[in-house]
């Protein structure tokens, strides 16, 4: 644990979610819960064509990234980079797509999607027109690896954002 990372977590306000009625991400985790904290959570989405999809969901109901405080923005970006690093190391994708849209669910969340040339939408965004048939064998092989990767992601995020650790 580096002192800088510990200080970052210790400085974040421990505020619970301020739910917005009818918001899917206020009412439900939104996927397989990989890691949870007072500030944000990581879920793995159940996407049939793109199973290597995770979402970093801010706990508080805010629509835009700039609604976060400066410290929260740093923590959010740090978490995104940490997950991205882990996914690159573990999955070695052709590309890692990072996106925040929220047009349908205006509760701040970032998509982290591992991409390969063989996937159904490559080289387009996963929300664009499908480019080819799904490769069932590759999808199945990929899906089998994901629980282990979830565990590695959980450990890395717990270590980085442990709220119990304070600066010396
Ligand atoms: Zn919400």
Is 168 a member of any domain?
Answer: no
How far, in Å, is the centroid of ligand 1 from the Cα of 108? 8
Is residue 20 domain-resident?
A: no
Ligand 1 midpoint to CA 15 (Å): 14
Is residue 167 domain-resident? no
Is 78 contained in some domain? yes
The DSSP call for residue 145 is H
The alpha carbon of 47 and the centre of ligand 1 are apart by a number of angstroms equal to 21
Domain assignment of residue 166, yes or no: no
* 73-127 pLDDT per residue, tens: 999 999 999 999 999 999 999 999 999 999 999 999 999 999 999 999 999 999 9
Percent of the chain surpassing pLDDT 90:
82
Find the CATH number of the domain harbouring 42. 3.30.428.10
Question: Cα separation of 144 and 129, whole Å?
Answer: 26
pLDDT in tens, 51-62: 999 999 999 999
Q: How many domains does the chain have?
A: 1
Q: Tell whether 154 is covered by a domain.
A: yes
What's the CA-to-centroid distance between 57 and ligand 1, angstroms? 9
User: Domain limits at 52?
Assistant: 3-14+25-160
Torsion sign over Cα 70, 9, 146, 102:
negative
């Amino acid at each position: 644990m580096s002192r800088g990372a510990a200080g970052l977590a210790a400085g974040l306000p421990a505020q619970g979610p301020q739910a917005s009625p009818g918001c899917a991400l206020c009412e439900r985790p939104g996927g397989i819960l990989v890691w949870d904290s007072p500030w944000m959570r990581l879920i793995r989405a159940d996407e049939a064509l793109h199973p290597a999809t995770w979402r970093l969901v801010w706990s508080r109901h805010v629509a835009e990234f700039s609604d976060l405080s400066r410290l929260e923005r740093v923590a959010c970006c740090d978490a995104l980079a940490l997950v991205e690093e882990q996914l690159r190391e573990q999955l070695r994708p052709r590309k890692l797509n990072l996106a925040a849209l929220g047009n349908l669910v205006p509760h701040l969340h970032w998509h982290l999607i591992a991409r390969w040339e063989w996937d159904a939408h490559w080289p387009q965004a996963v929300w664009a027109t499908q480019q080819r048939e799904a490769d069932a064998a590759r999808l199945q092989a990929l899906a089998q690896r994901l629980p282990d990767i979830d565990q590695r992601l959980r450990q890395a995020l717990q270590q980085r954002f442990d709220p119990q650790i304070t600066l010396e």
